[in-house]
Structure 1
Amino acid sequence: MILFADYNTPYLFAISFVLLIGLLEILALICGHMLSGALDAHLDHYDSITTGHIS
């Protein structure tokens, strides 16, 4: 089976498109987690919630 034959082009395009979407999803997850942590660190009550000292 020749993977890069002309008749396999639509399938290769579809597979690469799905893999690209998956990669973008992973990048969005990582960036969202970092952004959420950075924004939570600016909250006054964030440290008290994480340490358990809620007044």
Structure 2
Amino acid sequence: MNKPDKPFMRAKDIQEYFGVSRNQSYAIIRKVKEQYKIDENRLPVRACVPTKELLKFYQI
């Protein structure tokens, strides 16, 4: 599994990277945002998270 090179990962990217359903990818986004207290107003799109925090959350 190669590390993604994008600064942000959207729900579709998470689906492809982890092999999960669409609903699960949105649940992952919510968990990461809650864990790292990410402000949605500072993100380019609502359904995305910074790749760095996502990988840190899963210790990859």
What TM-score do you get using the length of structure 1 for normalisation?
0.32
**Higher percent of residues as strand:** 2
- Name the larger-Rg structure: 1
**Higher percent of residues as helix:** 1
What TM-score do you get using the length of structure 2 for normalisation?
0.29
